[in-house]
């Protein structure tokens, strides 16, 4: 059974030969792909258009990055996946030179297992807290003042302790994403428990209370300093000058201006223009960026029509949507 598009044609399936690759590359280099369904005929291939498209996108495209994933890329995948779920194409957009197929395979073959080994649910990224696991976790914490998981997905630096952010994931509803106030400084607000707070709120700074931490078993941890916050993109730090430091997680800011595929809805464009005019987006975490290097697919879940970040985390927002 072939594809719908080629059910009437006699097409070859399975692995591509170097000769076929060569024909496809030559054809696309000279003519572009145009309509994929016509590519095989024009290129002299006994393949269906769909197969040609996949071969080009996943293997033959000249801008593909080869080799294994870096730690930075791995962190990015985990981080974006936590927000977007199995939307591999969207995730791949944060990794220049990587394809959705590549990311998906890497997730299934590597990251998923790593997360499970850390006691994390790869779907929700929350702790798999069976009573036994909770017990083990608490024992580990009590056994060492400096609790640190092996190869944690993220870390959250406190004044003296480092805890896996994933372990704190259940605190999510209590922790807030940073936002920009009228003075162009980042604030984060109290309680995202609900959407009534979701419009243009600029609340007071908060600490993660000792009781919150204790509830998770972090009995020996000091309460998290106000300068440490978790955003929709994971954990980060507000440095002394109130600049957001994503702790190496840079994906929203790495998007290059060459991303000419970005298409904004008129409302989004207006929002971004407003942000630019009011200099809301400036040199955050040492990464200078503007609207053209920002991933709108990613931020639109956190961007209100008013053009102001709200304190609804992206997961909430996605669920809301």
Partner DNA sequence: AATTCCAGCAACCGCTCCGAA
Partner DNA sequence: TTTCGGAGCGGTTGCTGGAAT
Name the strand (E) or helix (H) holding 235. Answer: strand 234-238
Rounded to whole angstroms, the Cα distance separating 265 from 171 reads 34
Of 59, 152, 276, 283, the one binding DNA (CB under 7 A) is 59
Of 46, 72, 101, 282, the one binding DNA (CB under 7 A) is 101
- The DSSP call for residue 201 is -
Q: Does 37 bind DNA (CB under 7 A)?
A: yes
Rounded to whole angstroms, the Cα distance separating 117 from 72 reads 20
Q: Which is nearer to DNA, 37 or 155 (CB)?
A: 37
Span interacting with DNA, options 7-15, 186-194, 234-242, 302-310, rule CB under 7 A = 7-15
Q: Does 13 bind DNA (CB under 7 A)?
A: yes
Name the strand (E) or helix (H) holding 228. Answer: strand 228-231
| Distance, C-alpha 294 to centroid of its chain | 13
Q: Which is nearer to DNA, 88 or 244 (CB)?
A: 88
Q: Does 296 bind DNA (CB under 7 A)?
A: no
For the bound state, the minimum distance from the C-beta of residue 113 to DNA, rounded and expressed in Å, comes to 7
Instruction: State the residue for tokens 């779920």.
Output: 85
Structure tokens at 25: 């590359």
Rounded to whole angstroms, the Cα distance separating 210 from 86 reads 34
Please say whether the beta carbons of 129 and 136 come within 8 A: no
Q: Does 114 bind DNA (CB under 7 A)?
A: no
Of 73, 74, 79, 102, the one binding DNA (CB under 7 A) is 102
Query: Other CB atoms closer than 10 Å to residue 286's CB: what's the count?
Result: 12
Q: Which is nearer to DNA, 103 or 201 (CB)?
A: 103
Q: Which is nearer to DNA, 48 or 213 (CB)?
A: 48
Within residues 206-235, the interface with DNA by CB under 7 A covers: none
Q: Does 202 bind DNA (CB under 7 A)?
A: no
Q: Does 321 bind DNA (CB under 7 A)?
A: no
Q: Which is nearer to DNA, 132 or 256 (CB)?
A: 256
Instruction: State the residue for tokens 């979701």.
Output: 198
Q: What residues contact 138, with CB distance under 8 A and at least 6 apart? A: 217, 219
Which residue ranges make up the site for DNA (CB under 7 A)? Answer: 1-5, 13-16, 34-37, 47, 49-51, 53-55, 58-59, 68, 86-90, 100-102, 104-106, 108-110, 113
């Amino acid at each position: 059974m072939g594809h719908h598009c080629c059910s009437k044609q006699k097409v070859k399936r399975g692995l591509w030969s170097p000769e076929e690759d060569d024909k496809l590359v030559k054809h696309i280099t000279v003519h572009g792909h145009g309509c994929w369904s016509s590519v095989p005929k024009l290129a002299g291939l006994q393949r269906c258009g769909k197969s040609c498209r996949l071969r080009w996108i996943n293997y033959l495209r000249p801008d593909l990055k080869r080799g294994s994933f870096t730690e930075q890329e791995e962190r990015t995948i985990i981080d974006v996946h936590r927000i977007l779920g199995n939307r591999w194409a969207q995730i791949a957009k944060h990794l220049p030179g990587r394809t959705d197929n590549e990311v998906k395979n890497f997730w299934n073959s590597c990251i998923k297992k790593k997360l499970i080994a850390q006691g994390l649910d790869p779907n929700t990224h929350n702790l798999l807290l069976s009573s036994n696991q909770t017990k083990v976790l608490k024992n580990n914490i009590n056994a060492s003042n400096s609790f640190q998981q092996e190869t944690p997905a993220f870390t959250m630096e406190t004044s003296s302790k480092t805890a896996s952010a994933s372990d704190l994931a259940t605190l999510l509803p209590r922790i807030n994403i940073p936002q920009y106030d009228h003075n162009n400084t980042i604030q984060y607000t109290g309680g995202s428990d609900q959407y009534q707070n979701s419009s243009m709120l600029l609340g007071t700074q908060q600490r993660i209370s000792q009781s919150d931490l204790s509830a998770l078993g972090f009995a020996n941890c000091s309460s998290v300093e106000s300068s440490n916050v978790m955003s929709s993109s994971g954990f980060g730090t507000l440095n002394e000058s109130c600049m957001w430091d994503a702790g190496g997680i840079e994906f929203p800011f790495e998007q290059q201006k060459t991303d000419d595929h970005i298409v904004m809805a008129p409302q989004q464009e207006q929002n971004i223009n407003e942000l630019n005019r009011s200099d809301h987006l400036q040199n955050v975490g040492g990464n200078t960026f503007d609207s053209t290097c920002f991933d709108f697919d990613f931020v639109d879940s956190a961007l209100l029509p008013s053009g102001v970040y709200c304190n609804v985390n992206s997961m909430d927002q996605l669920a809301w949507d």
